[in-house]
Amino acid sequence: MEEIINGLMEKVGLDKEQAEGVIEYLKENASKLPELLGGGLDDLKDKLPGALGGLLGGD
């Protein structure tokens, strides 16, 4: 888990709390990931909570 958190911190520029939030979101929505990713990055960034979608170019 720490490897994923560190990767999010390094590659996306999230702080530790934000990275942990992403992990929690992914865990809670694991069964929906294929559906969420099926629409591509544009759909995914609109569905991500808080600033993460903005980091990927969403609103």
Q: What is the pLDDT of residue 33?
A: 81
Mean of the per-residue pLDDT values of the chain? 78
Between 55 and 23, the higher pLDDT residue? 23
> Can you give the pLDDT at residue 58?
46
pLDDT for residue 2: 93
Alpha-carbon span 9 to 52, nearest angstrom: 12
Burial group, residue 55, by CB count within 10 angstroms (0-12, 13-18, 19+): middle
Q: How many percent of the chain have pLDDT more than 70?
A: 64
Report how far residue 17's alpha carbon sits from residue 32's, in angstroms, rounded to the nearest whole number.
23
